[in-house]
Amino acid sequence: MKRTTLKILFFSALTGVSLCPTLATAAEPLPVVASFSILGDLVKVVGAERVRVTTLVGPDQDAHAFEPKPADAKAMLAAKLFVSNGLNFEPWANKLAKSVGYKGETVLTSQGVKPILKSDPHAWQNPLNVIVYVRNIATGLAQVDAAGATSYQANAEAYVKELEKLDTWALAQFAAIPADKRQVITSHDAFGYLADRYKIKFLAPQGISSDTEPSAKGISQLIRQIKREKIKALFVENISNPKLIAQIGQDTGASVGASLYSDALSAPKQPGTTYLLMMRHNVMELVAGMKLN
């Protein structure tokens, strides 16, 4: 991010928000900023009525390509807690916080998660990792709102039970698919943690970051592999341009399935408006696609 852009954000924020926001009272929800929509949902679950959450990268938006706006700087200045993923998923986050003089606390939700690859930040694709996320969020909220600590802890542990149920259900769904059919093509390499947990092979024309350009050689190799192994499970993600996957489908004879939610929740009235709904949608679509292999 250019230094000039950061200065503009800083001075734009000053026009609307004091550098020293008042502390939240019992009647005033705690202002929290979440870096992207999936974390925003988790903070709302754990914080419930005690928090007011602003999400920087919203539904169907790509955090890899995010550029902060003055409104985002204002939200940061007003916040008592900033919740981000870490694992270099939001390289812009620290720059934004520093540029606006953010004075609140910060939670890295992935702290304590064992990365499967040094460069893969998509840890939320394994529900067991999200157990770590929500407990970290509960701890962070309690640090800035001690009076709500018991509530945050109770909400987090209730949600942990839901995540455990989700994982058990997903294991059963994928177990019904023979191992040699568990192959999937997606837009970019965002499902490594899901693949590792449920023993699925994901292939993608793009790398871990959606802003990388796939090579013609890599695409040709992928098309040959799809034809050779007769892979029919082909999906586009809600944050990605569908043209490349559509072209691969035409070249291989595979039909493109419903959108998967990788780095963002869905817009309202779509099937992935919360983390739990997003994951259930993805699992059901993946199972349906792999049955065609």
Structure tokens belonging to residue 165: 């149920």
C-alpha distance from residue 122 to each of 38, 207, 238 (Å): 11, 12, 15
149 and 190 part of one domain: no
- What is the number of structural domains in the chain? 2
* Structural contact between residues 23 and 78, judged by C-beta atoms closer than 8 angstroms: no
Pair (126, 157) in one structural domain: yes
Residues 176 and 130 in one domain: no
Assess whether 143 and 191 both reside in one domain. Answer: no
- Look up the pTM and report it: 0.86
Residues 58, 109, 91, 119, Cα dihedral to 10°: -110
Which of 147, 167, 187 lies at the terminal end of a domain, its last residue?
167
CATH classification at residue 239: 3.40.50.1980
Range of the domain at 258: 171-290
77 and 177, same domain (yes or no): no
Which domain-ending residue is among 134, 167, 200? Answer: 167
Buried b (16+ CB within 10 A) or exposed e, 71-108: ebbbbbbbbbbbbbbbbebbebbebbbebbebebebbb
Per the listing, tokens 């190799």 go with 221
Q: Check whether residue 85 and residue 149 sit in a common domain.
A: yes
C-alpha atoms less than 13 angstroms from C-alpha of 27 in its C-beta half-sphere:
0
For tokens 């999936």, the residue is: 38
Q: Are residues 133 and 191 in the same domain?
A: no
Alpha carbon separation from 251 to 184, 196, 255, 285 (Å, rounded): 16, 29, 10, 22
What is the per-residue pLDDT for 156?
A: 98
Residues 160, 279: one domain? no
Domain endpoint, select from 167, 186, 213: 167
For 112, the token pair is 């304590």
Helix-strand-coil split of the chain, %, nearest 5:
50, 10, 40
Indicate if 47 and 143 belong to the same structural domain. yes
> What pLDDT is stored for residue 64 in this prediction?
86
Same domain, 180 and 202: yes
The pLDDT tens digits along the chain (293 residues) read 444 455 555 545 554 444 444 444 446 999 999 999 999 999 999 999 999 999 999 999 999 889 999 999 999 999 999 999 999 999 999 999 999 999 999 999 999 999 997 789 999 999 999 999 999 999 999 999 999 999 999 999 999 999 999 999 999 999 999 999 999 988 878 999 999 999 999 988 765 555 566 677 778 888 888 888 888 889 888 876 677 888 888 888 888 888 999 999 999 999 999 999 999 999 999 999 999 99
What pLDDT score does 176 carry?
97
pLDDT of residue 214: 65
- Whether 177 and 286 map to the same domain: the answer is yes
Residues 122 and 263 in one domain: no
Position 5 scores a pLDDT of 52
Q: What is the pLDDT of residues 7-66, one digit of tens each?
A: 555 545 554 444 444 444 446 999 999 999 999 999 999 999 999 999 999 999 999 889
